Structure 1
């Protein structure tokens, strides 16, 4: 019989706050984390805004100064969020949890882009001998999971998923599976990203994928609004501690929510354009995996990136999956406040899902001033909503047609 899996700890690094209470309060207040980019000169960029983390200091989050220098920014974010999540959970590796029964799966959609840029500049300006010997181990996407295991002593399953913007949700879902089948008692899982960088911003600008509402940064991310003009880049990390219910109860852990379903699918359609059929299959598989009826879902934290094509595709997929029940669901996109954290989005949004179930409040979709008439669901516009949600779903969809869905419900003994 498969193990039941619960959420016992969470950690976040975001532009809305890098602790759970501040982050949640800012979400419910409808605060935007988007502002003008300060990390580099954006004069020649069509998009000059992002949900950027200002004044980042890894030492303030428990990271050793010397070791932090050997980490790309995305790894620092991941390690900081993981240490927060472990502290929140009360899980002590080597004390109340055996080290070889705790694993790590923290993915990244792009990895160490900042390190790549800096070392490439050194190569061009000063030659190959000046490239750092730490370049490769700092840059590769699996180093978040690797460093987390070294810092925490977690010796169980250690893996990294790279599925673009579906990465965080795949990492959580795969960790759910590992615990279900008995490969681990607990998993440190989620996503991290640090792509508010010249190359990433230039690439997405060239695609015309991002909002150019530079004069009103806080209003730029506006999912489902008729005036949406693209997504807003975000950065940070969201990490959860998943445990088998038996292990969590055995140490008297606080339980935020229970993970009950996971689905994934491929569009087999286009490099960047989503196919609503793929998203619908993904949600349907997660619902089947959870062993519930579609009508039991009360809330969806949407992928909802604020792109004209993406929001329409997801809305179509929700209608396909839920039929008439789609109009009874609450659907919100918290990317309207956090920006789009790419590979970290699923981690952040899984944290939000658990907090929604625990607190009975749905975070809103802000900047939804004029709902697109083609998008006719209940997107919880502009203000939080009290609701006794029992079961909720989170979607993540990535370039390449990668789709991932996780379902959580309120914990009941």
Structure 2
């Protein structure tokens, strides 16, 4: 018998806010977190647009030696995880006496790696890298730090799957718990927000250049979209079996109904339609629900020409004549990359809890590829019990989650 899998805690560190309440309000109000960065323009960026992610202050919680081992994204993840554990009522005494796992999405540590290697090249000595450099520069730095800080002794795994990393972490947690291999897993995704992490993206001319109107720059599905805007931060969810949550007396926020995934097996950066469509189809197959059960789709749509159009066609292929409401919260946040799948799950749960769908910011006109889906341009007060969330990444890695309200 497969076990039911529920979400009992959430935490967020985002350009929309650093608490669930602040993020909920920003979503409802259609507030953008995108700014123009003079620092990036001076450094030589073609596009100086980015999300305005607050710096994390860990001094009240951790000593200096501990903080020295944590790059930017691990700091964001620590703050988000504190929130999630608190909401889930998982205190340290409980964690110390039980096996709690950790799966977190992360796919780069650019600034920490660059800093250590610059010191080495400048001095001609590897000793200049510093004692903590290796722990800050490994891709697994987030899980390594969180597992040690919170004494998590279950599975310890980094999901490194480009922009599907955060979603894959939730899906993997769902699979392990559903099959009885773990009772409780902390999962999520983190993305460093410094300019070095996205310099190569800017070199690919992947970013919007609408610098005169930063909050109008990220335009998922819109006819006049001209590229994405980079974001960052961290999002954490506590995921556990329904029985384990009930036994603990934990607050049950939502249930993970199903997970689907696929690989495009095609071009390394240009998406296709068949790969994303298979991810959706497998998610429906694994969940046992039908497209008509879905009240909202949180699309991956990053505001790129090819990506948005092909995702729209994949959604249309799977949903057919059913015009399910579709938005992309990236109109407000930009593309949060490795954290996006986790943060967008939280954004969608907040909407589901509060009976609204945040409008797809800056969607004014569809084009010939995006007109096939029902994109909601403005915040709409509406009730829904189940949503689908897409995350697609470079290399053709696709992940789809279906999450719903818990039925007793």
Q: What whole-Å deviation, never above 9, does each CA across 1:143-202 have from its counterpart, x for those lacking one?
A: 21121111111111111110000000000000011111112211110100104323x332
Question: How far apart, in 2, do the equivalents of 1:274 and 1:254 lie?
Answer: 39
1: CA distance between counterparts of 2:40 and 2:218? 21
Structure 2: 5+ residue runs without aligned partners? none
Instruction: Give the equivalent residue in structure 2 for 1:270.
Output: 267
- Alpha carbons 1:157, 1:183 under 8 Å: kept: no
Q: What is residue 358 of structure 2 aligned with on the other side?
A: 363
Indicate how the Cα distance of structure 1 residues 266 and 99 shifts in structure 2: closer, same or farther if over 3 A, else same: farther
- In 1, the alpha carbon distance for the partners of 2:23 and 2:402 equals 22
Count of matched residue positions in the alignment of Structure 1 and Structure 2? 406
Task: Give the superposition deviation at 1:390.
Answer: 1.5
Structure 1 residue 240: Cα displacement? 0.4
In the alignment, the residues of structure 1 paired with residue 46 and residue 39 of structure 2 have an alpha-carbon distance, to the nearest angstrom, of 16
Cα 1:367–1:246, aligned 2, differ >3 Å: closer, same or farther? same
What is the CA distance between 1:27 and its match in structure 2?
1.2
Question: Hey, what's the Cα distance between the residues in 1 that align with 2:180 and 2:327?
Answer: 34
Q: What is residue 115 of structure 1 aligned with on the other side?
A: 112
In the other structure, the counterpart of 2:53 is 53
- Deviation >4 Å, runs of 4+: 38-41, 97-100
* Contact 2:165/2:339, CA 8 A, preserved across alignment: yes
CA deviations on 1:189-237 (whole Å, 9 max, x unpaired) are: 0100104323x33211221111111121111101111111000000100
Query: Unmatched 5+ residue regions in structure 1?
Result: none
1:380 aligns with 2:379: no
Measured against aligned partners, the alpha-carbon deviations of 1:14-70 in whole angstroms (never above 9, x if no partner) come to 11111111011111110110112266564521110100324432336x344431121
The Cα shift of 1:136 comes to 1.5
Q: Give deviations 1:78-111, integer Å, cap 9, x for gaps.
A: 111111100111112442x56542100012122x
What are the superposed Cα offsets for residues 301-346 of structure 1, whole Å, 9 maximum, x if unpaired? 0001000111001001001111111x2x011100111111111001
* Cα distance in 2, alignment partners of residues 143 and 117 from structure 1: 15
Deviates more, 1:308-317 or 1:246-255: 246-255
SS in 2 for 1:394: strand
How does 1:62-77 map onto structure 2 within 5 Å? 62-77=61-76
Aligned to 1:79: 78
* CA–CA separation in structure 1 for the residues paired with 2:77 and 2:38: 22
The question of whether the paired residues in 2 share the 8 Å contact of 1:113 and 1:197 is answered with no
Q: Give the corresponding residue for 1:88.
A: 87
Q: TM-score, length-normalised on structure 2?
A: 0.96
In structure 1, which of residues 314, 319, 325 is the aligned counterpart of residue 316 of structure 2?
319
Tell me: CA distance 1:116–1:304, structure 2 relative to 1, closer, same or farther (3 Å).
same
Structure 1 residues 257-406: aligned runs within 5 Å: 257-325=254-322, 327=323, 329-376=324-371, 377-381=373-377, 383-406=378-401
Counterpart among 380, 402, 405 of residue 407 in structure 1: 402
1:4 is the counterpart of 2:4:
yes
Residues 172-183 of structure 1 correspond to what in structure 2 (within 5 A)?
172-183=170-181
